[in-house]
Amino acid sequence: MILCLSIGLLALTPLAYLLVRTIGETGGGTKTSSFLFSLRTLEHAGTSLGLAAVVTTASTLIALFLALCTGASDLPFRRTCTVLVVCPLAIPCYVGAAVYIGTFSPGGLLGGASEILGVRYGWFSGFWASAFVLTLFTYPLAYLPIRAGLSRSDRTLLEAARSLGHSRTRAWVHGMLPQIRTSMVAGSLMVALYTLSEFGAVSMLRCNTFTRVIYLEYESAFDRTGAALSSLALVALIGLILLLGEWMRGRNTSGQTGRPARPCRWRLGRWRWLGVPGVGVVTLLSVGIPLTSIFRWWGRSHSTDPVLDAILPALVTTMVLAVVAAVVVVILALPTSMLASRYPSKLSRMIERITHIGFGLPGIVIGLALVFVVLRFLPAVYQTWGIVIAGYVILFLAQATGPLRAGFDRAPRPLEDAARTLGARWPRRLRRITIPLLVPGMSSAFLLVFISTTKELPNTLLLAPAGSHTLSTRIWQYTEEAMYAESALPALILIALSAMMVAGLVWREGMVEKTA
Amino acid sequence: MIELTDIKRSFGGHDVLKGVSFQIPAGQLAVLFGPSGCGKTTLLRIIAGLEHADSGTIAICGRKITGPGIRVKPEERKIGLVFQDLALFPHLTVTKNIEFGMARATNKADRTREMLELTHLESLRDRFPHELSGGEQQRVAVARALAPGPDLLLLDEPFANLDATLRCTVRRELVELLDRVGTTSIMVTHDRSEALSAAQTLLVMSRGRLLQSGSPRDLYERPSDLRVATLLGDGNLLDCEIRGGIATCCLGTVDAADRSDGQAKLFVRTEHITLEQDEEGEGTVLGSAYFGHDSMTDVGLPGGKVIQVRESQERTSNPGSTVKARICGPCTILD
């Protein structure tokens, strides 16, 4: 219990220190308030919120359209479409941004388009470019919950509304929408939070949201107090969005009656073929163009040895780092998950929530907070891999808790009691019962953290020892230096790794089967 | 043979067991019966060693396993336990589940085959628990608990997870099996028909106390108090007056040889009253609920008293008719 609490609290230390230090340094007074109300800050807040609003709205609309098409209609090729529309999950946003920058640059797949349109190179940047890229690669975050909500929804309510004399549209608004409202809000919330935390894509596309500003202030100006204040402002924004989500979710209106639901299915009639181009356009923009572009750049580069020389060490570093981080995270998450599964109480729920805080925080903020803590208390570990892993632990602890908890749920106390009454002492119980049942949960927790670590950018960028690289920082560096051909290989490797996780995810949700 | 003496247990100031004592002769199937929350599952877990007792002693075949300063670990007690939710190991096959408790046994293979045969599971030996029906899972749980040859077998609501149609068959099979194996067993249940039909010794518990023990028929026909009487079945509580060894109530007289004179209560089971169509009778049939195999008839008596009578289906009285009610079976005088 105490162990769990200390793990949870340890994860919170950097953020707490960030707060304390900032207030201490600025005296909590004039500098803070002048910062908060300066025009610059308001501008960054406006950009962050604006981007979040645009991306969330667009993503939710796309997700809703796709979910209705693939989940509640007689669209042709529904199974294929379902798989296609979650594919963008495999492409990290910053990889997507890098790819699109490369696509529109001279020699890129659509480089010619810029010439024809008569716009200068580099036009693909800023707010709207960021919104475009983020929408393309985050809509699956909204799609998955809405799709799940639809398959839990019940046609009976719709039929009841119609039998009470409502028109088709009104029946839909009153009988159907409330049923998927909860999952829509949850999906939009995830997109909004992701957009606010996103660092790589907005930075590459030079859109001045808080995450980019924090990095710029830290890196170029060495204005650490400014960076800390921006971080706190960003955390406050995230808190605000979470509150908004809580408020929007409101009462539980899912109206579960306990009976197995009969999901809705619309007959689209002659419109049914219209859904296919819709899915097609989205897939073309989010998967087709990026993949084609990457392969095209790769085709031009893969004969050059220097690229391999640079990528191979980065690949090895990434793999080693990810394995170590995943092992550490799983070990640290074990006690908390066990507590949550075996001894459910107010305290254990609270501890579980604490570990979730890191998950909600942007990587750049955690990285910055860690820099502060380390420079103040443990300067020796500054710029070592240890501190990078500490960052991963804080970021991904919550990801491991879920599957591990499910693992412990599979090996509940009564099973151990049963083994005891059958004469098994604890080593045998552990070896024959608990561990075998825990293995699936542990391996999926490991895989989840492993993949997340390989994709992670801001934390790595901020904390990694100078001169060393992972795949993600290589992509970052090559894109900054307009070396698009060189970034193709690391991007491909990352996408392949993520695709593994998406495949696992789709398989676990049993979505393909459910569609059948 | 198992002997419990004055077992007490409280959780957070609430006395769950207030001193329970009983003994069960070797080879018998005893049923611990009581309403939900009366402490019977706690008692079972204490016997198994999964819970500790605040005071009291437990001895099996003369070996003390719980007592002052003694607390033998569950894994060393040689007591088998069939859990309410069965707790089969989901990642092990039927055979592996059954073998689990025989880690050091020399004749493991023979013993396993024997258990599989006894429980008719031979054809399912390589299945996993989730591939079995509820009744089959239940048999695996019993086989697993019996395989190490325990001195005592405990069964915690073993039929709770079966549907009603299956229960009866599974119960009969289990009673037969336990009889054949000859292991001393204690089964916990809150289902009265289960308790009455399965038990050789019936122990009735309520609110942490053992109320009465004995053969099911004894307890049903001669309950020691009103609680035992009503827990085991429906009945009517009538005022009566005892004079000279004869008790007189509104339904007539019954023998009360060993009772002193005075006012008392008479408990008569609903099926131990007969109704006869009789114009002169004092009872009026108020209504009747039909259950198929029998029906429950409400009869109004002079003075506003209403009694319930269980009638066989061919002789159900019509509402409104006048009847004469008579006691036709054993009844109990309670103080």
CATH 3.40.50.300 residue ranges for chain B: 2-230
Domain B234-334 sits in CATH 2.40.50.140 = yes
Model pLDDT for residues B121-139, shown as the tens digit of each residue? 999 999 999 999 888 999 9
Q: Which residues of chain B have a CB within 8 Å of the CB of A437?
A: 90-91
Given a contact cutoff of 8 angstroms between Cβ atoms, the answer to whether B148 and A423 are in contact is yes
- Report d(CA A413, CA A394) in Å as an integer: 29
In the predicted structure, residue B190 carries a pLDDT above the cut 60: yes
pLDDT tens track for B220-262:
999 999 999 999 999 999 999 998 888 988 888 888 888 888 8
Q: Is the pLDDT of residue A511 over 50?
A: no
- The confidence score (pLDDT) of residue A515 equals 38
Which of A421, A432, A433, A437 is most worth mutating to test chain B (most B CB atoms within 10 A of its CB)? A421
Q: In sequence order, what DSSP letters do the residues of A284-337 get, joined into one string? A: IIIIIHHHHHHHHHHHHHTT-HHHHHHHHHHHHHHHHHHHHHHHHHHHHHHHHH
Q: How far apart are CA A187 and CA B215, in angstroms?
A: 63
Average pLDDT across chain B, whole number: 90
Rounded Cα distance, B135 and B197, in Å: 19
Q: How many C-beta neighbours within 10 Å does residue A87 have?
A: 21
Which residue type, as a one-letter code, is found at position B193? S
Q: Decide if A423 and B78 are in contact by the 8 Å CB cutoff.
A: yes
**How many CB contacts within 8 angstroms connect chain A with chain B?**
59
A36 in reach of chain B (CB within 8 A): no
In whole angstroms, give the CA distance from residue B111 to residue B148.
8
What was the pLDDT predicted at B47?
94
pLDDT band at B205 (very low <50, low <70, confident <90, very high): very high
Measured in angstroms, the CA of A196 and the nearest CA of chain B are apart by 43
- Residue A173 DSSP one-character state: I
pLDDT value of residue A101: 86
- List, for residues A386-421, the tens digit of each pLDDT value: 889 999 998 888 888 888 888 888 888 889 999 999
pLDDT tens digit sequence for A304-350: 666 677 788 888 999 999 999 999 999 988 888 888 888 888 887 77
* Distance separating the N- and C-terminal Cα atoms of chain A: 45
Strands B79-82 and B152-156: parallel
Residue with tokens 């009872």: B283
| Dihedral over Cα of A176, A179, A181, A184: its sign | negative
Domain with CATH 1.10.3720.10 in chain A: 1-8+302-481, 38-253+269-298
Residue predicted with more confidence, A356 or B298:
B298
- Alpha-carbon Rg of chain B, whole angstroms? 24
Does the pLDDT value for residue A428 go beyond 80? yes
Q: Whole-angstrom Cα distance, residue B239 to residue B247?
A: 10
Q: Does A422 touch chain B (CB under 8 A)?
A: yes
Q: Which residue has the tokens 């659509």?
A: A110
Burial A179-218 (b: 16+ CB within 10 A, else e): bbbbbbbbbbbbbbbbbbbbbbbbbbbebbbbbbbbbbbb
Closest CA to A125 of A228, A204, A222, A229: A204
Handedness of CA A487, A489, A490, A495 (dihedral sign): positive
Are B59 and B2 spatial neighbours (Cβ–Cβ below 8 Å)? yes
pLDDT band at A37 (very low <50, low <70, confident <90, very high): low
d(CA A390, CA A129): 33
Residue pair A205/A125 in contact by the 8 Å Cβ criterion? yes
Residues pairing with B17 in the sheet: B9
Rounded distance between C-alpha atoms, residue B35 and residue B17, angstroms: 14
Q: Is A417 within 8 Å of B87 when comparing Cβ atoms? A: yes
Q: Which of residues 127-156 of B touch A (CB under 8 A)?
A: 144-145, 148
* pLDDT exceeds cutoff 90 at A86: no
Domain A38-253+269-298 belongs to what topology? MetI-like fold (1.10.3720)
Mean pLDDT in residue range B83-106 = 88
Interchain proximity B148–A432, CB inside 8 Å: no
First-last CA distance in chain B = 34
Tell me which chain B residues have a C-beta less than 8 angstroms from the C-beta of A440: none
Question: Quick one: how far is CA A18 from the chain centroid?
Answer: 24
Q: Which of A417, A419, A425 sits opposite B100 (nearest CB)?
A: A419
Distance CA A120, CA A123 (A): 6
Q: What angle do CA B62, B100, B120 make, to 5 degrees?
A: 95
- Of A269-273, A452-456, B75-79, B198-202, give the lowest mean pLDDT range: A269-273
How high is the pLDDT of residue A118? 66
- Position A294 pLDDT exceeds 50: yes
Class of domain B2-230: alpha beta
The mean pLDDT of chain A is: 81
Does A269 score more than 70 pLDDT? Answer: no
> Residue A268 pLDDT > 50, yes or no?
yes
Kindly state whether A430 is in contact with chain B, defined as any CB-CB distance less than 8 angstroms. no
Is the CB of residue A481 less than 8 Å away from at least one CB of chain B?
no
B74 touches chain A (CB under 8 A): yes
Number of CB atoms found within 10 A of residue B123's CB:
9
More confident call, A25 vs A166? A166
Give the contacts of B317 (CB within 8 A, at least 6 positions apart): B275, B277, B285, B288, B297, B311, B323
Lowest-pLDDT range, A52-56, A146-150, B322-326? A146-150
Q: Per-residue pLDDT for A513 more than 50?
A: no
CA distance B264 to chain A (A): 49
What confidence tens digit (pLDDT) does each residue in A220-257 have? 766 677 788 888 888 888 888 888 887 876 655 544 44
d(CA B46, CA B55): 11
Q: How confident is the model at residue B203 (pLDDT cuts 50, 70, 90)?
A: very high
Cβ atoms B310, B234 nearer than 8 A: yes
Domain with CATH 2.40.50.140 in chain B: 234-334
Give the class (CATH, top level) of A1-8+302-481. mainly alpha
Instruction: With beta carbons under 8 A apart, name residues in chain A contacting B111.
Output: none
Q: How confident is the model at residue A177, as a pLDDT?
A: 77
Reported for A479-485, long-range contacts at CB under 8 A and 24+ positions apart, including other chains, are A479/A97, A479/A98, A479/A101, A479/A102, A479/A204, A480/A204, A482/A105, A484/A98, A484/A101, A484/A102, A484/A105, A484/A107, A484/A108, A484/A297, A485/A297, A485/A298, A485/A300, A485/A301, A485/A307
Confidence (pLDDT) at A277: 83
Please report the pLDDT score of residue B150 as a whole number.
Answer: 92
CA angle B229/B235/B237 to nearest 5° reads: 85
pLDDT value of residue A372: 83
Q: Does A420 touch chain B (CB under 8 A)?
A: yes
ipTM of the complex as predicted: 0.82
Residues 6 or more apart in contact with residue A420 via CB below 8 angstroms:
A429, B49, B50, B73, B74, B75
Residue B33 — φ and ψ, nearest 5°? -120, 140
B185 Cα to chain A: minimum distance (Å): 15
* Nearest residue on chain A to B147, alpha-carbon basis: A422
DSSP state of B151: S
Residue B109: C-alpha distances to residues B90, B113, B181 (Å) = 21, 6, 18
Place of tokens 């003369």: B62
| DSSP notation for B53-88 | -SEEEEEETTEEEEETTEE--GGGS-EEEEBTTB--
Minimal Cβ distance to A418: which of B73, B76, B87: B87
Residues 193-212, chain A: which have Cβ within 8 Å of B? none
Res. B185 pLDDT band, cuts 50 70 90 = very high
pLDDT interval class at A264 (50, 70, 90): low
Query: In this model, does residue B186 exceed pLDDT 90?
Result: yes
Give the three-state DSSP class for B32.
strand
State percent of chain B over pLDDT 70: 100
Q: Give the CA distances from residue A164 to residues A159, A161, B28, in Å, rounded to whole numbers and listed in that order.
A: 9, 5, 64
User: Quick check: B206 and B227 in contact, CB under 8 A?
Assistant: yes
pLDDT band per the 50, 70, 90 thresholds, residue B156: very high
Using an 8 Å CB-CB cutoff, list chain B residues near A422: 75, 80, 100-101, 144-145, 148
Asked whether the beta carbons of residue A421 and residue B89 sit closer than 8 angstroms, the reply is: no
- Helices A275-283 and A39-71 cross at an angle (nearest 10°) of 140
Output the 3-class SS for A18-63: HHHHHHHHHCCCHHHHHHHCCHHHHHHHHHHHHHHHHHHHHHHHHH
pLDDT over 90 (residue B31):
yes
Distance of CA B238 to the CA centre of its chain: 26
Task: Name beta bridge partners: B209.
Answer: B206
To the nearest whole angstrom, how far is the Cα of B149 from the nearest Cα of chain A?
10
Interface residue A433 vs chain B (CB under 8 A): yes
- In this structure, what DSSP letter does residue A179 have? H
Q: Cβ A410–B90 below 8 Å, yes or no?
A: yes
- Inter-helix orientation angle A127-152/A93-103, to 10°: 130
B101 chain-A contacts, CB cut-off 8 A = 422-424
What percentage of residues in chain A have a pLDDT greater than 70?
87
Place of tokens 């408020």: A247
